[in-house]
Amino acid sequence: MVHKLAFIGFGVVGQGLAEILLEKKEALKQEEEFEAKIVAISDLMKGSIYQPDGLDIELVLKTLKETGNVEDYPQTAGLIKGWDSLMTIRESNADTIIEVSYTDVKTGQPAIDHCKTAFENGKNVVMTNKGPVALAYKELSEIADSHGVSWGFEGTVMSGTPALRMPIATLAGNDITEVRGILNGTTNYILTKMETDGVSYEEALMEAQALGYAEADPTSDVEGYDARYKIVILSNYVMKAPLTVEEVSCKGISSITLADIEEAKKEGKRWKLVAKARKEVAGVVASIAPEKVDLTDSLASISGATNAITYETDLLGSVTLSGAGAGKVETGFSLLIDLITIAREKHPVKL
């Protein structure tokens, strides 16, 4: 079966997935019996095209590189240009919507509306946008379930590193009592540079920005807001414990000084921005805050822009997973594994 895809948003992440599908087309077909056809792309800045029989993705990427607008794709029989995102979701023949639009993380829009529209029209969604999962997990899950469709969002927490899929699939049967991790690569890079190079917070931040780890406005990362959304997703999905963003106390790293770094060294400790969610009698208690962790702590050895997470379980004890938390290919892979998972659920691969 060919899986027909419509991209809502076609920036770095969307193009990353498109390139992976192009490069690994034959391997996916042979090894996973997975074959995908991109039928539509709708991007607010780059234009919109729909071809029911499938687009030539190599030509799409070439056109985009040359002109910056997918609507400059050569006109062919059946090609439609100019649909907005909601019309693309409703009217295209796509089975699955790749939701990678520019979304306001504070409201989750327009991605929340994209998800609702897709589910109500019997279409699966895979996405990397944190907002809808953190802000509307229960509502969107119920809508997807009621329409018999799938919703994948592996890339919302640690990019392609399976922070969501791994515990669900391989820690099944355990009671996960606590989740604790380094969920933001920007802040971890800054703290690592301060310790190893002896530079100030401001200098480390400038270097992170120069390398593309930090945005021009780094507030979401350095003040802990990005990690707060991720711990809410982990609580709701992995721990099966309802939690809202407002319930998570949040403090960032902008006040950490070199003196603080040196003091931690003398104590045999290291500063990390730690995201935590712990089950207590009254419910889940979660926080984002800088902590001095012992050098023997599994999170202490995580350096640079790498992410890591530890799951505390009743049967297996502590289980730690580390890996990339960002990147074009890595995040593109997170979408691919969601697509493969949906395909396996609907059409299991014969062994």
* pLDDT, tens only, 14-47: 999 999 999 999 999 999 999 999 999 999 999 9
Whether pLDDT at 349 is above 60 = no
* pLDDT, tens only, 62-113: 999 999 999 999 999 999 999 999 999 999 999 999 999 998 888 999 999 9
Asked if 286 and 276 count as a contact pair (C-beta separation under 8 A), the reply is yes
Q: Which residues are catalytic?
A: 230
Whether pLDDT at 351 is above 50 = no
Backbone dihedral angles phi then psi of residue 8, each to the nearest 5 degrees: -105, 100
Contacts of 350 (CB under 8 A, 6+ apart): 33
Mean pLDDT of 151-175: 95
pLDDT of residue 345: 85
pLDDT of residue 264: 97
In angstroms, how far is CA 128 from the centroid of its own chain? 4
CA dist., res. 221 & res. 200, Å (int): 17
Mean pLDDT of 327-334: 92
Whether pLDDT at 133 is above 80 = yes
In angstroms, how far is CA 140 from the centroid of its own chain? 17
When the pLDDT of each residue in the chain is averaged and rounded to a whole number, the result is 95
Asked if 315 and 172 count as a contact pair (C-beta separation under 8 A), the reply is no
Q: Would strands 151-152 and 124-127 be described as parallel, antiparallel, or unpaired?
A: parallel
* DSSP line for 299-330: TTT--TT-EEEEEEETTTEEEEEEE----HHH
346 confidence band (pLDDT: 50, 70, 90): confident
Tell me the two tokens of residue 4.
């027909």
* pLDDT, tens only, 240-290: 999 999 999 999 999 999 999 999 999 999 999 999 999 999 889 999 999
pLDDT of residue 325: 85
Mean pLDDT of 217-223: 95
**CB-facing half-sphere around the CA of 308: CA atoms within 13 A:** 19
* pLDDT, tens only, 183-198: 999 999 999 999 999 9
pLDDT of residue 307: 96
pLDDT of residue 350: 52
Tell me the two tokens of residue 129.
């946008």
